């Protein structure tokens, strides 16, 4: 955790504080950055202005890079969250479909049982009443059975 010296906001890490500073207190952030750029005593003798400028630009580039990195991290997290919720939804749908399939399987096996029972009943019924074709016709009196 890093605390903002300007408003006391708690920031998660130096990167977040950096971003917070440049978003909320750009003036102070700039001053701080320039503080770092102040030449040391040795350099004060002949402060090469161009070198200071180059350093300032480098510093700004670093700030921009940091901001982009933070933004990229934020987008990555957002995307990961979205994927996670989508995955959870898909899992729920699949679970529901599996349940429906199991129910249909159950219905099918029940139907199968009933068809089997119907076949048994039918064959029993057929045994009780002889088929007309098997009946002896009057002109087949010489045949047995």
Q: What does the binding site for Zn ion look like in residue numbers (CB under 5 A)?
A: 4, 6-7, 9, 24
Structure tokens at 14: 């130096």
Q: For residues 51 and 43, what is the distance between their CA atoms, to the nearest angstrom?
A: 10
Buried/exposed 50-80: b ≥16 CB within 10 Å, e otherwise: eeeeeeeeebeeebeebeeebeeeeeeeeee
Cβ distance to Zn ion smaller for residue 4 or 52: 4
Least spacing, CB of residue 56 vs Zn ion, in Å: 23
**Rg (the chain; Cα; Å):** 43
Cβ distance to Zn ion smaller for residue 24 or 117: 24
Cβ distance to Zn ion smaller for residue 25 or 55: 25
Least spacing, CB of residue 5 vs Zn ion, in Å: 8
Cβ distance to Zn ion smaller for residue 7 or 57: 7
Least spacing, CB of residue 15 vs Zn ion, in Å: 15
Q: For residues 112 and 123, what is the distance between their CA atoms, to the nearest angstrom?
A: 17
Least spacing, CB of residue 11 vs Zn ion, in Å: 8
Cβ distance to Zn ion smaller for residue 3 or 114: 3
Report yes or no: 22 and 29 within 8 Å, Cβ to Cβ: yes
Least spacing, CB of residue 95 vs Zn ion, in Å: 47
Q: For residues 101 and 87, what is the distance between their CA atoms, to the nearest angstrom?
A: 21
């Amino acid at each position: 955790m890093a605390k903002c010296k300007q408003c006391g906001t708690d920031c998660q890490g130096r990167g977040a504080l950096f971003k917070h500073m440049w978003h909320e207190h750009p003036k102070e952030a700039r001053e701080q950055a320039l503080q770092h750029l102040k030449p040391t005593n040795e350099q004060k003798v002949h402060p090469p202005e161009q070198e200071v400028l180059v350093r300032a630009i480098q510093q700004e580039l670093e700030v921009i890079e940091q901001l982009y990195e933070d933004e990229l991290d934020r987008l990555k997290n957002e995307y990961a969250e979205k994927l996670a919720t989508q995955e959870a939804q898909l899992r729920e749908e699949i679970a529901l479909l599996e349940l429906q399939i199991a129910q249909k399987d159950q219905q099918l096996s029940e139907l199968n049982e009933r068809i089997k029972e119907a076949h048994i009943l039918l064959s029993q019924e057929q045994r009780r009443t002889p088929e007309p074709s098997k009946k002896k016709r009057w002109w087949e009196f010489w045949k047995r059975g």
